[in-house]
Amino acid sequence: MPAVNRIKIYNIKPRKENFEMSQEENHSVFSKDTRHINRRGFLAGAAALSFAVINPKFVRGTEANAKINIGLIGCGERGAWIAELFNRHGGYNFVAAADYFEDRVNAFGDKFNIPASKRFTGLSGYKRLLETKPDAIVIESPPYFHPEQAAAGVDAGVHVYLAKPIAVDVVGCNSVAESGKKATAAKRCFLVDFQTRANEFYCEAINRIHNGDLGKLAFGEATYHADSPWTRMNEVLAKDPANPENRLRAWGLDKILSGDIITEQNIHTLDVMSWVMNQAPLRAFGKGGRTVRDDAGDIWDHFVATFEYPDNVAFSFSSRQFKGHGTSPEGIRNRVFGSKGILETEYGGAVLIRGENFYKGGRTSDIYEQGAVSNIATFHKNITGSDFTNSTVEPSVRSNLVTILGRTAAYEERLVNWDEIVKSNQKLQANLKGLKD
């Protein structure tokens, strides 16, 4: 997921080359309980969050007006970028850092004045970080490691801020779901960082859909078409693919470490689909492959799938991660068609509803940064305000499982039922041989 800010959508890399060693019950899509968001109230609330002051009884190890002490797990580009946003908020203080690679943790430590004694390397560096007893951790490591690190954080009694995707397999998703519940029981915050779910226009448009503004839903589309974001990783891996540390640095090109492009990157558009439908799909059929890309990894370059939901509603999905040669439109887009109107969304572009219940919405040009800024403010507010509902966990688990459903259907070229996926106990095993602990 620093030069990624304010760039065209088709160059956005929702996860950069960062690295530490690094059903739900069906709910009606027409729920009447969800209320429209007031735009002025949304903005005023977001602004207020930025100036929240710590109440010491809510944050272990702090004094009045002190900042929340946090440790960063994963000091690559995404980790360093989001750390700047935590720092800009003003309510946090970085006190420890962990990354498999010494050069990365030292660069981060030097920038944020973290003493050498609180810089940790190796696959188990995050464990040693937790022994320093920060108030919270920010996990920006490769997705494969997210469940293990999040669980360790909850067990250590710290608040957890977790990057998407939350996991690469069903076992990992179940682990994060359990960690979220344990965090709530222990009065700790657990937040999953999806930018769209923090954007006022997405929130308002989808709340309107849940209130019936599109009428009876007919079908939808979810797409993510972009160039490959892994050029520099490929340069590293191509030099010596057999080198285990090169494989780790190039985690985005590894099916298991990343979850493949449908889980690592395409989750953005599939999360919007899942958010709109507000329930799990019934089944999916898919195709895809590694047809165009010739890099040193094993991830696919495209996926195509159809997701079937209750009430005869289907979503078509497609993704591409190779050169588009000027084709348009690009990026992360969703459309939902109903009897009264149509939802159109573009990550970095316009969000609106056309039809009988017109909603002008607005543009989301700064969503990549502002979504994270909003989530960082919410994390701070929840910690200081003792809000441990941890409402981002359950929908994030479902969206992650949706990507695994589509991935399984495409890998195996067959119709796969949701119940089959959620009951799966298959755990992906990465090749970590030769890496230091």
Could you tell me the CATH number of the domain that includes residue 106?
3.40.50.720
Give whole-number Cα distances, 298 to 70, 259, 260, 392, in Å.
35, 11, 9, 31
Q: Are residues 101 and 72 in the same domain?
A: yes
What is the distance between the alpha carbons of residues 101 and 314, in angstroms, rounded to a whole number?
44
Q: Are residues 142 and 267 in the same domain?
A: no
Q: Are residues 388 and 325 in the same domain?
A: yes
Look at residues 159, 193, 227 and tell me which one is the last residue of a structural domain.
Answer: 193
Give whole-number Cα distances, 108 to 72, 84, 150, 391, in Å.
9, 11, 21, 31
268 belongs to a structural domain? yes
Query: Per-residue b/e over 7-22, b at no fewer than 16 CB within 10 Å?
Result: eebbebbbbbbbbbbb
What is the distance between the alpha carbons of residues 263 and 91, in angstroms, rounded to a whole number?
32
12 belongs to a structural domain? no
Q: Are residues 70 and 156 in the same domain?
A: yes
DSSP letter assigned to residue 310: G
User: What is the per-residue pLDDT for 66?
Assistant: 66
* Residues 6+ away with beta carbon under 8 Å from 363: 201, 349, 350, 351
Map residue 332 onto helix, strand or coil: strand
20 belongs to a structural domain? no
275 belongs to a structural domain? yes
Look at residues 167, 193, 219 and tell me which one is the last residue of a structural domain.
Answer: 193
What is the distance between the alpha carbons of residues 172 and 144, in angstroms, rounded to a whole number?
8
pTM of the entire structure?
Answer: 0.86
User: What is the per-residue pLDDT for 12?
Assistant: 41
Q: 26 near 242, Cβ under 8 Å?
A: no
146 belongs to a structural domain? yes
Q: Are residues 182 and 316 in the same domain?
A: no
Phi first, then psi, for residue 332 (nearest 5°) are -105, 110
Structural domains in the chain (count): 2
* Residues 6+ away with beta carbon under 8 Å from 202: 196, 272, 275, 345, 351, 364
Domain enclosing residue 235, as ranges: 197-422
What is the distance between the alpha carbons of residues 180 and 356, in angstroms, rounded to a whole number?
39
Q: Are residues 411 and 308 in the same domain?
A: yes
Could you tell me the CATH number of the domain that includes residue 292?
3.30.360.10
Q: Are residues 368 and 284 in the same domain?
A: yes
Q: Are residues 234 and 134 in the same domain?
A: no
Query: Per-residue b/e over 82-95, b at no fewer than 16 CB within 10 Å?
Result: bbebbeebebbbbb
384 belongs to a structural domain? yes
SS3 content of the chain, % helix, strand, coil (to 5): 40, 20, 40
User: What is the per-residue pLDDT for 27?
Assistant: 34
Look at residues 137, 165, 193 and tell me which one is the last residue of a structural domain.
Answer: 193
Number of separate helices (H) and strands (E) present in the chain: 15, 15
25 belongs to a structural domain? no
Bin 37: left if φ > 0, else alpha if -120 < ψ < 50, else beta.
beta
343 belongs to a structural domain? yes
Q: Are residues 202 and 69 in the same domain?
A: no
Q: Are residues 58 and 131 in the same domain?
A: yes
Determine the Cα angle at 26 with ends 24 and 31, to 5°: 125
Q: Are residues 243 and 174 in the same domain?
A: no
Please list the pLDDT of the chain residue by residue as tens digits (437 residues).
333 333 333 334 444 334 333 333 333 322 333 334 444 344 344 434 333 344 444 454 344 346 999 999 999 999 999 999 999 999 999 999 999 999 999 999 999 999 999 999 999 999 999 999 999 999 999 999 999 999 999 999 999 999 999 999 999 999 999 999 999 999 999 999 999 999 999 999 999 999 999 999 999 999 999 999 999 999 999 999 999 999 999 999 999 999 999 999 999 999 999 999 999 999 999 999 999 999 999 999 999 999 999 999 999 999 999 999 999 999 999 999 999 999 999 999 999 999 999 999 999 999 999 999 999 999 999 999 999 999 999 999 999 999 999 999 999 999 999 999 999 998 999 999 999 99
User: What is the per-residue pLDDT for 169?
Assistant: 98
Q: Are residues 368 and 381 in the same domain?
A: yes
